[in-house]
Amino acid sequence: MASITIRGVRKNYGKTQVVHGVDLDFASGEFVVILGPSGCGKSTLLRMIAGLEEISDGTIAIDGTVVNQLEPRERGCAMVFQNYALYPHMSVAQNIGYSLKVAGVPAAERTQRIQAVARTLELEHLLDRKPMALSGGQRQRVAMGRAMIREPKVFLFDEPLSNLDAKLRVQMRSEIRKLHRRLNATSVFVTHDQVEAMTLADRLVVMNGGRVEQVGTPGEIYTRPASRFVATFVGAPAMNMLEGTVELDGLSLLGGSRRLAVPRAGLPVGTKVAMGVRPEAVRLVAPGTSGALDATVDLVEELGAGRVIYVDLDGSPFSVMTSEAIHPEPGSTVWLKFSADDMHFYASETGGRLDVFKASVPEPA
């Protein structure tokens, strides 16, 4: 159990800066997921916490102790790697118990603790096998066992599920979640998979280009994305974004070809904005409904429980997700409607969120 405090952390490789001043606080026992596209600095940040990368600037403190100069073994962190990084020449038991062996724990106690961990992870019958003779899911569990046995203050996960097949990934996800509930150790989990991030996180950190874009619960991040990047990155299919300009009586979209009647609130006329709406918030309505937009169907993607309809809105791609049994033909015209509450507005230039339009909407808790 430990809190982690990150203050102004930067990382330079030579002259290139890949992490530009990150400030974060992780509470004790919290499960934090760092989400971002590849190359956003999330793994680098995790490795700096672990002590595998030097911290170029700023401080990282675990339980109030600044750990910048400490070796990984002195930080009380355990890490699960993407490729598991099991020692190929050691049996499962030796792999799990290696850190105890290094620490000089007597053989009897070691065996006992290996047994206990193996029982938790249902690895008891595999203890004598070599990693080569294990399936992906089993290797994954051994890697977790290796981290668990040290009873670390902090668990670090570096995209541990990305090498598993889809079904196993879902299963391991819930196992990790269960494990966290029982051990209650502070966990930091890095991933580029938003479903993983949403389902696992107590709190989500969205990173992009070496900066933190937003920190919040999965719900907050989904309902109130703080920037245009977060809005389009979180959620699948991605949020629709339409460029527009603020006018006296509302919003002109797509270079003036479409208009939406939304309250202008404080924004000056002529402000360039991007209007976002999630595909799942768009409804298909009867032709000619007032306030509806007509669009040409490009493609329908069947998902079983629902379907995604990709349409062309005066040259701009737009998608609609519906669970209704509607199967429009490609090339046909559909009418789309969405409420003002479901619209998100971002400044065109900075990508920052503009909440002026939604003054009447209550803040989510």
**Candidate ranges 76-84, 178-186, 326-334, 337-345; the one touching another protein (CB under 8 A):** 76-84
**Candidate ranges 98-106, 197-205, 248-256, 282-290; the one touching another protein (CB under 8 A):** 98-106
Q: Is 87 in the site for another protein (CB under 8 A)?
A: yes
Torsion of CA 170, 176, 178, 183, to 10 degrees: 180
CB burial of residue 359 (10 Å; 0-12, 13-18, 19+): exposed
Q: Is 210 in the site for another protein (CB under 8 A)?
A: no
One DSSP character per residue, 59-110 reads EEEETTEE-TTS-GGGTTEEEE-TT----TTS-HHHHHHHHHHHTT--HHHH
Q: Contacts from 330-333 at CB under 8 Å and sequence distance 24+? A: 330/297, 330/298, 330/299, 330/300, 331/296, 331/297, 332/296, 332/297, 333/287, 333/294, 333/295, 333/296, 333/297
Q: Is 71 in the site for another protein (CB under 8 A)?
A: yes
Q: How many residues bind another protein (CB under 8 A)?
A: 24
Q: How far is the CB of 71 from another protein (least distance, A)?
A: 8
Q: Pick from 5, 82, 163, 348 the residue near another protein by CB under 8 A.
A: 82
Q: Pick from 15, 38, 69, 88 the residue near another protein by CB under 8 A.
A: 88
Q: Is 52 in the site for another protein (CB under 8 A)?
A: yes
Backbone angles phi, psi at 28, to 5 degrees: -65, 130
Q: Contacts from 176-181 at CB under 8 Å and sequence distance 24+? A: 176/144, 176/200, 177/31, 179/120, 179/144, 179/148, 180/31, 180/155
Q: Pick from 81, 115, 175, 243 the residue near another protein by CB under 8 A.
A: 81
Q: Is 72 in the site for another protein (CB under 8 A)?
A: yes
Nearer to another protein, 47 or 358 (CB): 47
Going by C-alpha positions, the residue among 307, 211, 316 that lies closest to residue 258 is 316
**Candidate ranges 49-57, 60-68, 198-206, 288-296; the one touching another protein (CB under 8 A):** 49-57
Nearer to another protein, 94 or 289 (CB): 94
Binding pattern for the stretch 116-135 against another protein, x by CB under 8 A and - elsewhere: ----------------x---
| Residue 302: other Cβ atoms inside 10 A | 9
Q: Is 11 in the site for another protein (CB under 8 A)?
A: no
Tokens of 195: 């479903």
Q: Is 285 in the site for another protein (CB under 8 A)?
A: no
Q: How far is the CB of 105 from another protein (least distance, A)?
A: 11
Q: Is the dihedral of CA 41, 46, 48, 53 positive or negative?
A: negative
Q: Is 356 in the site for another protein (CB under 8 A)?
A: no
Q: Is 144 in the site for another protein (CB under 8 A)?
A: no
Q: How far is the CB of 149 from another protein (least distance, A)?
A: 10
Q: Is 107 in the site for another protein (CB under 8 A)?
A: no
Q: Which residue, chain included where needed, has tokens 């490729």?
A: 83
Going by C-alpha positions, the residue among 191, 192, 186, 197 that lies closest to residue 222 is 197
Q: How far is the CB of 51 from another protein (least distance, A)?
A: 8
Residues of this chain that interact with another protein (CB under 8 A) are 50-52, 71-73, 77-79, 81-83, 85-89, 98-99, 102-103, 132, 146, 150
